[in-house]
Amino acid sequence: MSAFFGTLTDWEYVVVAGGGSGGANFGGGGGAGGYRSNVAGESSGGGDSAEGSISRSAGDSFTVTVGAGASAATGSSSGTQGTGSVFSTISTVGGGAGSNGAVGGTGGSGGGGGINQAGGSGTTGEGFGGGTGTSAATNYNTGGGGGAGQAGSNGSGTTGGDGGDGVASSITGSSVTRGGGGGGMGGNEGGGAATEGSGGAGGGGDGGANNSTNSIALAPQNGTVNTGGGGGGASNRNVSSPSGAGGSGIVILKYPAKFSLSIGGGLTSTTATLGNFKVTQFTAGTDTVTVA
């Protein structure tokens, strides 16, 4: 039963951090932003159950911050970590960076590892770790970024690791999956085809891929805005184009319709009525919110 039916002051939330970007030039997939939720019957990230109820009353003020997705990597660099999101005392960790020639970055979910490198670790209660990259002869690949609901896959042969899937929530009235990891890159310098790692369900971007006859076979994709999805890792034939950027995060609040929110001008938001409740989605910015 929803916490709302306990007292009319209990609020539900989904808080998702910005996703990490994929690595450039043999890059691993970016990790998804950390995911926390207290929606009854749903899950937080990292396989944890929903968190406990939280109460707010008229006159209460709190900070809301929507974490930005990490910028794309260029040249021969690793990606960067996404930015955390905040609702009052609930904070999340930005998605880990996809690596270039190193272990994937730690974060809400871990970034994918570079060639012959392990994936980064996720944060307990927020997301899973990234996958490992491998190589053999002319075949190589990188790991997929971790997702809020599933670890990133290891690369295999000429195929990049898939990003881990995110977590679904119906807090807005319909089921939406957020927090997917970015796909790793696949490569083949022996004359055959290579396959990109797919981005995880919930906004993860696909990785890049190449073969020995194409200068760019497939460019990596960005994580989806307001999902915290990780960006895809770029192949060595994508040196003239960036890796996939991380998707921005989101903060969603569901609360009894008797309340209204005074929202500072630094935040971008929308509010809808859902039965006896209101649902406010914060999609960018940071500022103070006051309950009325």
What pLDDT, in 10s, does the model give residues 174-204? 999 999 999 999 998 887 788 999 999 999 9
Per-residue pLDDT reduced to its tens digit, 49-90? 999 999 999 999 999 999 999 999 998 899 999 999 999 999
CB 7 within 8 A of CB 141: no
Question: What pLDDT was estimated at residue 90?
Answer: 97
Alpha carbon distance 65, 115 (integer Å): 35
User: Which pLDDT score, from 0 to 100, does residue 239 have?
Assistant: 62
Predicted confidence at residue 227, as pLDDT, reads 98
pLDDT in tens, 138-148: 899 999 999 99
Residues 6+ apart with CB under 8 A from 169: 14, 37, 39, 42, 175, 176, 177, 178, 252
Two structure tokens written together for 47:
């396989």
| Chain centroid offset of residue 65 CA | 16
- Of 176, 195, 187, 185, nearest to 212 by C-alpha is 187
Q: Taking all residues of the chain, what is their mean pLDDT, rounded to a whole number? A: 93
pLDDT in tens, 210-267: 876 555 568 899 999 999 999 999 988 766 679 999 999 999 999 999 999 999 999 9
In this prediction the pTM is 0.95
Tokens at 191, concatenated = 């004359």
